[in-house]
Structure 1
Amino acid sequence: MKRPNILFLFSDQHNQKMSGCYGDKVVQTPNIDRLAAEGVRFDNAYCPSPICVPSRMAMLTARWPSRQDCWVNDDILRSDLPTWLHAAGAKGYQTTLIGRLHAIGPDQLHGYGDRPVGDHSPNWPGGARQSLGVLEGTNDPTPESLEKAGAGYSAYQEKDEDVTTAAESWLKNEALALNSAGKPFCLTVGLMLPHPPYVVDQEAYKIYEGMVPPPEQKPVDDEHEFHAWWRKDRGIDTVTPEQTDRARTAYCGLVHRMDEMIGRVLDALEEAGLLDDTLIVYASDHGDHLGERGLWWKHTFFDESVKVPLVMRLPGVLPAGEVRKQVVNLVDLSQTMLEAMGASQLPHANGKSFWDVAKTSSAPWLNETFSEYCTDPVPHWTGARAVQQRMIRADNWKLCIYDSEAPQLFDLENDPLETTDLAALPEHREKLEALMQKLTQDWNPQDIVERMKTRRIEKDLLLEWAKNVQPVSSHIWTFSPEINRLE
């Protein structure tokens, strides 16, 4: 069989539920829905960590964040760790990235052979960042991201327009040339949307204005200590209904625009005559709470934050219109794409290929995965607090462990919205202990604390170096602060 090309569409901060194919009745995602209708949709796909860099670097290497020392957004992935792009290139694929990678450090390729459009941020913490102008700070977990939400325009949306245009051109030119030469391609299109700022162009905003319902779940009286602390520390314990509506409306507009861009890329692939010769995968790096439980952004193990959309299409190999309930992870996805290519699996990896599961629902699979959330107290959004937290999803059970706070245990079959914590109930002690043993057998929080302290000493030196030397960053997409505006 001819080896398939790979088109990996990878977005940023897309709440799984916010797509038509996942049941949303408001947001319009005809292109993602088409991929699901013509391929396979995964309902229980998770991210390795509910923040950007550790999730993305773990996906690249198929290793948990704690297995590669990438926990927060200023951690550098070692260049000598093989990624799935190295394995694809070793198999003869042309590996190209257009757009978002969010890798820190001098290696801005990590196995990609070509990168026509890069990131908007510098390669180094301490490097000069481009200003978001009137939207400064709205991309971070701060009250400003909700206070300045609504109709407008951000550099993130503009960047994705450039990424989409570049991807269209690449598919119509380079992909065709590679196909003529008999060489398969592996193209990643990295999109920023729908990551905050919760700001979208006025036309898209008006499509959803007055149409978006409020969050289903309010904060509960017996809210977990960590989540109560997080809401207060981040200043989101007094978000107004009007701010919530503007942010959720803009988010729907961002998803709408992202889906349109995905459609343009798919059209270019079809125009090149390569649509049905290409494994198309859509996924995101983590989710977004969007006000559910009084929470925003990511940073937790609730499904709004840690679940991701995942759809795969390859006619003649994958069935059309089927759904998979198996529990999978982005660390598994990279191994899966490698198997689809006929490439070698990554060595010493945690991820396992679920290619057989994608092809048939009856294929054997262990319904078990993890996610990690670890920080030191330095990043400004941590509230000067270090955390070492981990989650296991095993079949229909989820256990989350924290630092000094109590664990949480949910029965997702009977409580899919995670409203009833069963951890303290005697009748569930046996289940809690069994999951706790699995969760901690290769997890030592104190060891992680010490490793993060060692890394911080090294990172602080690199940060001061970058502040003073201002080294030139590579693969940078530049923009004017004036691009950013609020209507």
Structure 2
Amino acid sequence: MADTADGRGTAGTTGREGSGRGGRHPNVVVFFTDQQRWDTTGVHGNPLGLTPNFDRMAAEGVHVANSFTCQPVCAPSRASLQTGRYPAQTGVYRNNIPLPEDAPTLAHHFAAAGYDTGYIGKWHLADTDVAGPVRPEQRGGYRDWLAANLLEFTSDAYETTLYDADGRAHDLAGYRADALTDAAIDYATRERRNPFFLFLSYLEPHHQNQRDDYPAPEGYGERYAGGWTPGDLAALGGNAAEHLGGYYGMVRRLDECLGRLLAALEEHGLAEDTVVLYTSDHGCHFKTRNSEYKRSCHDASIRVPTALRGPGLGTGRPITRLVNHIDLPPTLLDAAGLPVPADMHGRSLLPLVRGAPDDRPDDVLVQVSESEVGRALRTPRWKYGVVAPHADGWDDPAADEYVETYLYDLETDPDELRNLVADPGAREALPPLRRRLVERLAETGEHPVIRPAPASAP
């Protein structure tokens, strides 16, 4: 992986003392998948044995058992993971909006502490018409680069083209996820004087756009075809029967890639000094909630697998509180012994990891765009969603007025099949949820009016 023109941090510097051995800051790796449902993992009840490496990581490290994206669309979610801010606040509230070039990102924060910073894989935060090389000023501050803005359009299952820091194309051999993993292992295990921060961004298990297919490694789709089907897909159908085998096969290969990366860290003596985060940008509802795969407030779109391991994270205790993507950037900085910027909306999970008293709310805010201008509140029991009736999901990042549109009782209806928003029996649940959503929106600078659902609502 080549370096960009601005070079590396000062030779020999490692920043301030961190939590790694010898006072050195630990390395940090983000293992980032695309469009992966939480219930593809064994720890969440999937019976097919797809994720033994993730399951072991969750059991031995920190399993974030209730993890949610703050926006179920690729670019907005990615912008939030880079900045620790909600999509409507970064300006990247939908796809085809580049991350502002002056936006402070994780790469900037780690580089300022003396880290080498590397990005491999799918970026999706550059100019709308860029499917290949990304201009240096649009790389979010990453110094080492092997990526494509829209990897789904520069690659296929066994054809992968990525671009280095000089804009040169590299055709990588093998299955796409394997090729990215090989590059990541090379980056993580090379000789260096500084700690490193690596963001490894896969396309799997996202569909292959140009033919709307889920191309698993050869033989893997057949292995899982006709297998276990989650309750929402069994009830609603969509195109899950056609694609679930391939999707599961992609998840299985991702887990094998995770195993290879973790094994390489062990082999090179890096495991005890490396924080690893596994998460995904959003889920997949297989064309059951709208005409494609995400962009809805349902758990199939917003709930994702998340786990951490590394120094200080080997607790074997899950975090059961609801966690939002915006909590992950401050967690990574905190785990590396670095300060968390005040403008990040989220809060580090380390107090929860350490069992310290913590007054954070047990709910998450979700912003929805493109399909609608919506907002949702997810609590342990309820999914409460509002939609702006006069706003355009493509042109409007937010609205002054929303109408109650969704209410699901997740205790009795975990698959979100019965919308109770107009049910007289659920009427008492609405006012406190409405007030809480208004409070959460105010935290992000939004002050809308939320109107009750009309009596004829579905």
The Cα of 1:5 is off from its aligned counterpart by 1.5
String of CA shifts for 1:310-347, please: whole Å, max 9, x gaps: 001125x2244322211111111011111111212133
String of CA shifts for 1:51-85, please: whole Å, max 9, x gaps: 10011101211111111221221012111121122
For residue 209 of structure 1, what is the aligned residue in structure 2?
A: 225
Q: Name the CA distance, whole Å, in 1 between partners of 2:332 and 2:188.
A: 19
For residue 41 of structure 2, what is the aligned residue in structure 1?
A: 19
The one-letter code of the counterpart of 2:414 is: P
- 1:159 matches 2:176: yes
Q: Identify which of 273, 281, 285 aligns with 1:277.
A: 273
SS in 2 for 1:17: helix
TM alignment of 1:243-254, pairs within 5 A: 244-254=240-250
The one-letter code of the counterpart of 1:394 is: T
Q: Name the CA distance, whole Å, in 2 between partners of 1:211 and 1:321.
A: 30
Q: Name the CA distance, whole Å, in 1 between partners of 2:175 and 2:287.
A: 26
Q: Identify which of 204, 223, 236 aligns with 1:193.
A: 204
The answer to whether the 8 A contact 2:46-2:228 is kept is: no
The one-letter code of the counterpart of 1:60 is: Q
Q: Which deviates more, 73-82 or 355-364?
A: 355-364
Q: Identify which of 319, 329, 334 aligns with 1:324.
A: 319
Alpha carbons of structure 1 residues 436 and 388: separation in structure 2 relative to 1, 3 Å: same
For residue 97 of structure 2, what is the aligned residue in structure 1?
A: 75
The answer to whether the 8 A contact 1:172-1:271 is kept is: no
The answer to whether the 8 A contact 2:32-2:201 is kept is: yes
String of CA shifts for 1:187-206, please: whole Å, max 9, x gaps: 11111100013122332123
The one-letter code of the counterpart of 1:367 is: D
Alpha carbons of structure 1 residues 130 and 342: separation in structure 2 relative to 1, 3 Å: closer
- 1:39 matches 2:61: yes
The answer to whether the 8 A contact 2:42-2:55 is kept is: yes
- 1:402 matches 2:424: no
For residue 14 of structure 2, what is the aligned residue in structure 1?
A: none
For residue 419 of structure 2, what is the aligned residue in structure 1?
A: 421
Q: Name the CA distance, whole Å, in 2 between partners of 1:354 and 1:113.
A: 27
Q: Which deviates more, 94-103 or 209-218?
A: 209-218
The Cα of 1:120 is off from its aligned counterpart by 4.4
The answer to whether the 8 A contact 2:385-2:404 is kept is: no
The Cα of 1:132 is off from its aligned counterpart by 6.3
Q: Name the CA distance, whole Å, in 1 between partners of 2:362 and 2:173.
A: 36
Percent pairwise identity: 31
SS in 2 for 1:304: helix
TM alignment of 1:211-230, pairs within 5 A: 211-213=227-229, 216-217=232-233
TM alignment of 1:397-476, pairs within 5 A: 397-404=382-389, 406-426=404-424, 428-440=426-438, 441-442=441-442, 443=446
The one-letter code of the counterpart of 2:324 is: N
CA RMSD between the two structures: 2.9
SS in 1 for 2:411: coil
The Cα of 1:363 is off from its aligned counterpart by 4.2
Q: Which runs of 5+ in 1 are unaligned?
A: 123-128, 136-154, 221-236, 376-381, 447-487
Q: Name the CA distance, whole Å, in 2 between partners of 1:209 and 1:217.
A: 14
The one-letter code of the counterpart of 1:24 is: N
Q: Name the CA distance, whole Å, in 2 between partners of 1:258 and 1:327.
A: 25
For residue 126 of structure 1, what is the aligned residue in structure 2?
A: none
SS in 1 for 2:38: coil
Q: Identify which of 265, 282, 295 aligns with 1:286.
A: 282
Q: Name the CA distance, whole Å, in 2 between partners of 1:98 and 1:131.
A: 14
Q: Which deviates more, 68-77 or 331-340?
A: 68-77
The answer to whether the 8 A contact 2:123-2:147 is kept is: no
Q: Name the CA distance, whole Å, in 1 between partners of 2:279 and 2:225.
A: 26
Q: Name the CA distance, whole Å, in 1 between partners of 2:151 and 2:306.
A: 27
Q: Name the CA distance, whole Å, in 1 between partners of 2:338 and 2:296.
A: 34
The Cα of 1:172 is off from its aligned counterpart by 2.2
The answer to whether the 8 A contact 1:212-1:249 is kept is: no
String of CA shifts for 1:456-478, please: whole Å, max 9, x gaps: xxxxxxxxxxxxxxxxxxxxxxx
SS in 2 for 1:407: strand
Alpha carbons of structure 1 residues 277 and 360: separation in structure 2 relative to 1, 3 Å: same
- 1:88 matches 2:88: no
The Cα of 1:428 is off from its aligned counterpart by 4.1
Q: Identify which of 372, 378, 391 aligns with 1:393.
A: 378
- 1:59 matches 2:57: no
The one-letter code of the counterpart of 1:184 is: P
Q: Name the CA distance, whole Å, in 2 between partners of 1:260 and 1:121.
A: 21
SS in 2 for 1:249: helix
The one-letter code of the counterpart of 1:407 is: T
The Cα of 1:395 is off from its aligned counterpart by 4.2
Q: Name the CA distance, whole Å, in 2 between partners of 1:22 and 1:257.
A: 18
- 1:336 matches 2:321: no
The one-letter code of the counterpart of 1:189 is: L
Q: Identify which of 359, 364, 367 aligns with 1:369.
A: 364
Q: Which deviates more, 366-375 or 403-412?
A: 403-412
The answer to whether the 8 A contact 2:98-2:126 is kept is: yes
- 1:310 matches 2:326: no
Q: Name the CA distance, whole Å, in 2 between partners of 1:131 and 1:39.
A: 33
String of CA shifts for 1:411-430, please: whole Å, max 9, x gaps: 32343222333322445445
Q: Name the CA distance, whole Å, in 2 between partners of 1:97 and 1:435.
A: 39
Q: Identify which of 293, 311, 314 aligns with 1:297.
A: 293
Q: Identify which of 260, 264, 268 aligns with 2:260.
A: 264
String of CA shifts for 1:439-486, please: whole Å, max 9, x gaps: 24533679xxxxxxxxxxxxxxxxxxxxxxxxxxxxxxxxxxxxxxxx
SS in 2 for 1:98: strand
Alpha carbons of structure 1 residues 268 and 303: separation in structure 2 relative to 1, 3 Å: same
Q: Name the CA distance, whole Å, in 2 between partners of 1:274 and 1:217.
A: 41
For residue 476 of structure 1, what is the aligned residue in structure 2?
A: none
- 1:8 matches 2:8: no
For residue 355 of structure 1, what is the aligned residue in structure 2?
A: 350
Alpha carbons of structure 1 residues 21 and 362: separation in structure 2 relative to 1, 3 Å: farther
